Structure 1
Amino acid sequence: MSAMLHTLSEPAPSPEAGTPGAHDAAELHDRWAQFVAKELCSFSIRARGERNFRVSAWTRSEGGFVVAHFTTVAGRAQLERTPTDIRRDSRDNYCLYLPLQGEHEIQQCNRDVVCRPASLTLLTTGEPYLQTKRGDNDTLYLLMPRAFVDQRLTHGEDICANVVGAEHGVGRLAMDTIASLCREAARMSSQEFLGACNLAGELVLLGLSGAGDLTSNSRSIRASNLARAKRVIRMRMADSDLALEDIARECGLSLRYLHDLFRDDGRTVREYLQGERLHAARRMLERAVAGAATVTDVCMACGFSSPSVFSTAFRRAFGVSPRDVARRARPPQP
């Protein structure tokens, strides 16, 4: 990315212009999605059609860091970053959310949280996520390169989609620093901006993880390899023929080293793979519209070899059958 300041704005309509129509709002949603895809990462947008949608946005970038300020009016929408989006743009970074107004519901890494003002929430753009914007929003963002985070944290994904309060302590210091950085970004030289982003990133990671998770270079290599293996598993878990040798090969690791990484993390590779498949299946069952997907469909979509194997593993993990979960998710019949 360049070091230039990029902006997207839409002036409020004049009284003579009247209320914007659905076509105007849809066009502006498309422009907004294209702007975010260029500056942060691509995603699929499912807007709810407010006719008076308005947006103002700017970003500043340098050396893989991006600071951004997005303000939306009547911006209720769902933004989904899918595996297809990830493959298309290959963006694999970490992005901090700092809401000033409004709420974002975030679903990633089997976690579902609500990000509110005076809080910090980290996402990774290398993993699928679902973001629900509930209305008017005013939010600051700090995008950090994956290498920057992996060199400082042992398990970066483990702190994603977790809300950390920013009312006091290091969290408050990180929040104030990001706000100041956004205010002053346009006036900084490239060197000043990059240095300020590094300092802000250090504070953010300290506020999100605590000093105990900050790591040395030797440990960060293993953490980075483990994170890469987990990403490969999550991206390919729908393949029922996925073998551990395939995972090791794609990561450029030996099979023995792969086993060592997961053993040190407290579980086997197979346990992690099955856990991710089961959690993905449960989410699909809970969100499926009645009749849209059967238990067998979900079983096959999540990489299980047969419905019986799937049902047994599901009941063992959650204490309930897949059919019961699907039945509870369906709206009651009138």
Structure 2
Amino acid sequence: MQLVFDARQHALPQRRELWQTALCSAYIALDAELPGTNDYQGSLSKDDFGPVSITDIRLSQHVIRRRRQHLAQLDKDCYYLQILQKGHAQLVQGRHELPSNQAVAAMFYSGEPYDLQCLADIRALYLEIPRESLRNRMARQDFPIAGNVGIGSGVGKLAAQLCVNLAAESRAITHADKARLGAELLNIVALVLDRDPGPDTDGDPHRLARLSLIQSWIEQHLSNPELSLEAIARHHNISVRLLHHLFRQEGESPAEWIWSRRLQKCHDLIRSPQEMHRSITDIAYSLGFSSSSHFSNAFKARFGMRPSEARRR
């Protein structure tokens, strides 16, 4: 593992700012709320294993927050699997409140806000997994944005132990072998998630499967200006009332989810080098927006900047 940051190597007044920079560099944009002292202890090491990355991190007690304004800087579409080796933590994402310890891991998504509270000094491994790479390996497609994963026994324990061993022996493993081992690790994690009922213990699997099917269909029709709740319900042979009920379990209305996905897709297209020939207005209109000013205001409310600023960045 390559050392990214060690607080002990820096003077006390610099530690807080440098630690925040190190976290954003190793992971994604976020805020770290540290204890009210500069005498902060923490270290972070990282290595890549083919499609996945593993970080070995030691943290003093504090809170890590990812907010809407950070999503505009999203350069990774991935899941994180937190494997604690010492201490306890609590993660909140969407309607999910996830404890984690040595027997239960927490899995969460980079594309939605979250709060990660380290309840004491901890040591943890974080497995960074590209979302598409994981979904392509899974039989089930109803995994929510966050969930708990059992790692105290069975295949879950095997996956966690493999992460520990890879981190410990990374310097002795060749680059080619790391790529192959990372691919195998990803296969094992997909197997764990296919078998483990933990990701949404309070959910109805049939409801989740139906909701996932509806969301997938909506994604394919986001550019249709005639897309409506009535059309969605009619296509899936359900009532609009049931459609609202399915989405309410996820903490938002169908309309909110649709506009959120349209905004995110506009954001991705605006920042894509392949779409630079298209005007921002053209992109917005192609995703169902009919007013440039409404789109610009909605975009800024979600991402903290105007569409033109996002393109320049």
Normalised by the length of structure 2, the TM-score is 0.63
Query: 2:219, 2:157 → 1: CA distance?
Result: 44
2:86 touches 2:123 (CA, 8 Å); kept in 1?
yes
Runs of 4+ in 1 over 4 A off after TM superposition: 225-230, 244-247, 250-264, 272-275
Structure 2 stretches lacking a partner, 5+ long = 199-208, 254-313
1:100 touches 1:138 (CA, 8 Å); kept in 2?
yes
Match of 1:29 among 16, 19, 32: 16
- Report percent identity of matched pairs: 16
Corresponding residue of 1:204? 189
Residue 137 of structure 1: how far off its partner (Å) = 0.9
Partner of 2:182, secondary structure, is helix
CA change 1:261–1:77 in 2 (3 A) is: farther
Corresponding residue of 1:172? 157
Partner of 2:181, secondary structure, is helix
Corresponding residue of 1:277? 252
Corresponding residue of 1:42? 29
CA change 1:50–1:99 in 2 (3 A) is: farther
Corresponding residue of 2:5? 8
Residue 155 of structure 1 pairs with residue 152 of structure 2: no
Query: 2:197, 2:42 → 1: CA distance?
Result: 39
Most deviating of 244-253 and 113-122:
244-253
Partner of 1:112, secondary structure, is strand
2:91 touches 2:99 (CA, 8 Å); kept in 1?
yes
1:226 touches 1:262 (CA, 8 Å); kept in 2?
no
Query: 2:78, 2:224 → 1: CA distance?
Result: 18
Match of 1:181 among 158, 163, 166: 166
Normalised by the length of structure 1, the TM-score is 0.60
**Higher relative contact order, structure no. (Cα contacts within 8 Å, ≥ 6 residues apart):** 2
Query: 2:23, 2:225 → 1: CA distance?
Result: 32
Q: Which amino acid aligns with 1:171?
A: G
CA change 1:114–1:258 in 2 (3 A) is: same
Query: 1:152, 1:260 → 2: CA distance?
Result: 32
Query: 1:202, 1:211 → 2: CA distance?
Result: 14
Partner of 1:88, secondary structure, is coil
Match of 2:126 among 141, 147, 151: 141
Match of 1:112 among 97, 102, 117: 97
Most deviating of 123-132 and 199-208:
199-208
Corresponding residue of 1:249? 222
Match of 1:123 among 105, 108, 121: 108
CA change 1:175–1:62 in 2 (3 A) is: closer
Number of equivalent positions: 238
Q: Which amino acid aligns with 1:192?
A: D
Query: 2:234, 2:50 → 1: CA distance?
Result: 34
CA change 1:70–1:92 in 2 (3 A) is: same
Residue 53 of structure 1 pairs with residue 28 of structure 2: no
Query: 2:121, 2:35 → 1: CA distance?
Result: 13
Residue 109 of structure 1: how far off its partner (Å) = 3.1
Residue 205 of structure 1: how far off its partner (Å) = 2.8
Most deviating of 185-194 and 169-178:
185-194
1:78 touches 1:133 (CA, 8 Å); kept in 2?
yes
1:94 touches 1:125 (CA, 8 Å); kept in 2?
yes
Cα RMSD for the two superposed structures: 3.9
Query: 1:165, 1:246 → 2: CA distance?
Result: 31
